[in-house]
Structure 1
Amino acid sequence: MTDRIEQRAAELLPEERAAGSADPRAQAEAILDDSDQREDTPEAVENRRSDEAATSAETTR
């Protein structure tokens, strides 16, 4: 896993670099931990038919 973290730390996205980090390795580890959790327990997916979808009038403010 360390190689994976080191690789991710070396390849931070521009917005991640712009946010700044005193410890890119710790930042990469946190990003990968979050990603792993999302893969292990994905959020429930809503299954709706097209006739159940919200109309633009319902979603526009």
Structure 2
Amino acid sequence: KVDGISKFDVDLNTKVGHVTYKASIIELAAIEKAVSALGYQANNTEADPIVYENLPDCCKIGGMQ
């Protein structure tokens, strides 16, 4: 759980996440950095490459096709 984020959904078909957050508590850049640190791309913030390589194949781009 992250302060300021009230909802986080991922559409597994499109592999797109949607975040509902309070901008007065957390900035978009901080959310993008946190998502990147988990190995995923967030808007124009690239995924951490080392973390990405360690993700299961189903969680990588093109996985579960």
Could you tell me the TM-score, scaled by structure 2's length? 0.28
Q: Which has the higher strand share?
A: 2
Could you tell me the TM-score, scaled by structure 1's length? 0.29
Q: Which has the higher helix share?
A: 1
